[in-house]
Amino acid sequence: MKRSSITFRAFDNETKRLDKFLSSTLNLPRNQVEKLIQNQQIRLNNAPLDKKGILIKNGDIISIKEQITPQKTFEKDFSIPILYEDEDVLVINKPINLLTHRINEYDKEPTLVDYLVAKNFALSNLGDSYRLGIVHRLDKGTSGAMIIAKNNIAHQNLSLQIKSKTMGRYYLCVIDKPLKEHKIIEFPLIRSPKNRLKYITATLNNPLAKSAKSAFFKIITNHKTELIGAKLFSGRTHQIRAHLAGINRHILGDNFYGYKENYQKRILLHSHIIHFIHPKTQKFIKVYAPLYEDMKDYLEESYYQQPLNEDFQIPLDEMYCHIFGK
């Protein structure tokens, strides 16, 4: 693994924090600078740094050791089911335990983007190199339908459909306590002050919160747990999980958002339907993502008491329209 380093002298007459100085001088996000410090890749006057709040002054010498990470490889080959494909759009059935994309070069885990690149799919490149083709994302523990843009025109068009709410995204999930009724939740979301990786519901007038809207509707229950449908109107990080936690409901397997019972095989959350207007032909396209075996097995055992077909589908979009009259 190759390493190189850059060295420069602070030239600002004002004393300032090192992380702020590097962020502005090198045009790097602050969190990326923080990771450089955490990884002990920065030295100040030839002494290693381990905290970000250090103050620097004019004449200080700063060295940054850069690590060039090797090309990502998969330990074993696997295939991701393709649900729809043409020259502009790809829809895949994402498996669980696969990150959508890396955040930066220090993330070690192979991702969906790595897979798509390795398989030589054409991908849009409007974002950074870690997000090639990615119009929206699914959490690592979430499976199901996910749309990929193959070129920049398709990417722009699909992004606008998400923003204008003309793209439909419907999920299946199993929760630990039945809903009292079908419900639309419009509480904004904000990072938890106790855990910056988690999101919680906030008051409507909180200036730091981001607007979010989800619909939840009952499908079948065994009086202990319940299979429900969810429709996303916005696409905030962890939106379904955080909105459910806000009404004291938790997806089975989702320990991070408060699930405390015995089921631990996976998070039972699956993107079941995605529909959109094709960016070139303007045709309406609806794609179902079949359930993976682990979730199908749970539904068979807990609710249906009979084998489900491989192409088992629940018309969540039609159910939503019937229930909410929209």
Average pLDDT rounded to a whole number, residues 148-175? 94
- Class of residue 223 by CB neighbours under 10 A (exposed 0-12, middle 13-18, buried 19+): exposed
Q: If you compute the radius of gyration of the chain from its CA atoms, what whole number of angstroms results?
A: 23
Average pLDDT rounded to a whole number, residues 168-197? 96
**Could you give the angle at the alpha carbon of 302 between the alpha carbons of 227 and 175, nearest 5°?**
35
The amino acid occupying position 107 is D
* Structural tokens at position 188: 């904004």
Confidence of residue 2 (pLDDT cuts 50, 70, 90): very low
Catalytic residue among 139, 176, 254, 317: 139
User: What span, in angstroms and rounded, lies between the C-alpha atoms of 251 and 267?
Assistant: 7
Which residue spans within 166-251 are E strands per DSSP? 168-175, 183-185, 189-191, 199-201, 214-221, 226-232
Domains of the chain: 3-67 (3.10.290.10), 82-324 (3.30.2350.10)
- Residue identified by tokens 């993107």 is 271
**3-state SS, residue 133:** coil
The amino acid occupying position 58 is N
Which residue spans within 68-106 are E strands per DSSP? 82-85, 89-94
* Structural tokens at position 312: 């088992």
* Structural tokens at position 118: 């390795």
Q: Which residues pair with 43 in a beta bridge?
A: 48, 63
Give the tens place of pLDDT for each residue, 72-114.
455 556 789 999 999 999 999 999 999 999 876 667 788 999 9
**DSSP H helix total and E strand total for the chain:** 7, 17
CA quadruple 85, 91, 93, 96: dihedral positive or negative? positive
pLDDT averaged over every residue in the chain: 87
Question: Is 294 a known active-site residue?
Answer: no
Element (H, E) at 322: helix 316-324
Give the tens place of pLDDT for each residue, 30-59.
665 776 777 777 888 887 777 767 888 888
Give the tens place of pLDDT for each residue, 215-252.
999 999 998 999 999 999 998 999 999 999 999 999 99
Length of the chain: 326
